[in-house]
Structure 1
Amino acid sequence: MAWESSGGWQSGQAGAVDDVLVQESQRAFMSRVHGWMFAGLALTGVMAMVTLANEALLRVAVQNRMALFLVQLGVVFGLSFLAPRLSGPVAAVMFAGYAALTGVTLSVIFLIYTASSIGQVFFITAATYGAMAVYGTVTKKDLSSWGTFLFMGLIGILIAGVVNIFIKSSAVSFVMACAGVLVFAGLTAYDVQKLRQFHAGTGFKSTTSVAIVGALTLYLDFINLFLSLLRLLGNRRD
Structure 2
Amino acid sequence: MAWESSGGWQGGQAAEVDDVLVQESQRAFMSRVHGWMFAGLALTGVMAMVTLANEALLRVAVQNRMALFLVELGVVFGLSILAPRLSGPVAAAMFLGYAALTGVTLSVIFLIYTAGSIAQVFFITSATYGAMAVYGTVTKKDLRSWGTFLFMGLVGIIIAGVVNFFVQSSAVSFVAACAGVLVFAGLTAYDVQKLREYHAGTGFNSAATVSIVGALTLYLDFINLFLSLLRLLGKRR
* TM-score, normalised by the number of residues in structure 2: 1.00
The amino acid of 1:194's aligned partner reads K
How far apart in 1 are the matches of 2:116 and 2:204? 43
The amino acid of 1:98's aligned partner reads Y
What does 1:139-154 align with in structure 2 at a 5 Å threshold? 139-154=139-154
Note the aligned Cα RMSD (angstroms). 0.4
- Please report how far the alpha carbon of residue 180 of structure 1 lies from its aligned counterpart in structure 2 after TM superposition: 0.2
What does 1:113-192 align with in structure 2 at a 5 Å threshold? 113-192=113-192
Alignment of 1:78 with 2:81, yes or no, is no
Residue equivalent to 2:193? 193
Q: How many pairs are equivalent?
A: 237
The amino acid of 1:59's aligned partner reads R
How far apart in 2 are the matches of 1:5 and 1:205? 36
How far apart in 1 are the matches of 2:29 and 2:45? 25
State the identity as a percent. Answer: 89
Residue equivalent to 1:103? 103
How big is each residue's C-alpha offset from its partner over 1:92-148, in whole Å with a ceiling of 9 and x where there is no partner?
Answer: 000000000000000000000000000000000000000000000000000000000
Residue equivalent to 2:8? 8
How far apart in 2 are the matches of 1:4 and 1:157? 59
- Please report how far the alpha carbon of residue 156 of structure 1 lies from its aligned counterpart in structure 2 after TM superposition: 0.3
How far apart in 2 are the matches of 1:120 and 1:222? 15
How big is each residue's C-alpha offset from its partner over 1:46-104, in whole Å with a ceiling of 9 and x where there is no partner?
Answer: 00000000000000000000110011000000110111110000000000000000000
Unaligned runs of 5+ in 1: none
What does 1:5-44 align with in structure 2 at a 5 Å threshold? 5-44=5-44
Residue equivalent to 2:59? 59
- Please report how far the alpha carbon of residue 205 of structure 1 lies from its aligned counterpart in structure 2 after TM superposition: 1.6
- Where do 4+ consecutive residues of structure 1 move more than 2 Å? none
How far apart in 2 are the matches of 1:198 and 1:205? 9
How far apart in 2 are the matches of 1:133 and 1:226? 15
Residue equivalent to 2:46? 46
SS at match of 2:10: helix
* TM-score, normalised by the number of residues in structure 1: 0.99
How far apart in 2 are the matches of 1:206 and 1:47? 29
The amino acid of 2:80's aligned partner reads S
- Please report how far the alpha carbon of residue 179 of structure 1 lies from its aligned counterpart in structure 2 after TM superposition: 0.2
How far apart in 2 are the matches of 1:146 and 1:210? 23
The amino acid of 2:38's aligned partner reads F
How far apart in 2 are the matches of 1:179 and 1:214? 23
How far apart in 2 are the matches of 1:203 and 1:210? 12
How far apart in 1 are the matches of 2:210 and 2:145? 23
How far apart in 2 are the matches of 1:206 and 1:178? 36
How big is each residue's C-alpha offset from its partner over 1:153-185, in whole Å with a ceiling of 9 and x where there is no partner?
Answer: 000000010000111000000000000000000
